[in-house]
Amino acid sequence: MAVSRRSRDGVLIVAAHGEIDLTSCAPLAQALAVPREATAPRTVVDLSGVTFMDSTGINLLIGADQAARGAQGWLRLAAPTEAVLRTMQLVGLDSVIPSYRTVSEALEA
């Protein structure tokens, strides 16, 4: 798994590439960690490069969403691949965390 971070207009964009599972999730978890001093963190997770995500990834995204909301911020998901979207829909994650077709749509929402 590879993860990159960039910022656009004060929004952190985290792009994940590869598989998100128990053995590979540490880089994504670090990238999504909300610092204690963060005020209203806003994050978009670009899932366009993710080929597989298991329950570890689901739990990681739920935790990141809860941390962002707890700091008066938000988390949005962008461009999930078909396989990842099916997993999200199967567990109802798409009804908990907003998901958009593109990073641009997530930023504009």
pLDDT, one tens digit per residue, over 55-68 is 999 999 999 999 99
pLDDT tens digits, 70-103: 999 999 999 999 999 999 999 999 999 999 999 9
Residue 36 in any domain: the answer is no
Number of alpha helices (DSSP H) and beta strands (DSSP E) in the chain = 4, 5
For residue 6, the SS3 value is strand
If one counts the domains in the chain, the total is 1
Structural domain containing residue 21: 2-31+41-108
Q: Which of 1, 97, 6 shows the shortest CA–CA distance to 53?
A: 1
Strand pairing of 74-78 and 99-100? parallel
Q: What are the tokens at 97?
A: 């965390």
- Flag whether pLDDT at 104 surpasses 90: yes
Q: What is the mean pLDDT of the chain?
A: 95
pLDDT band at residue 34, thresholds of 50, 70 and 90?
Answer: confident
Cα 55 from Cα 7, distance rounded (Å)? 27
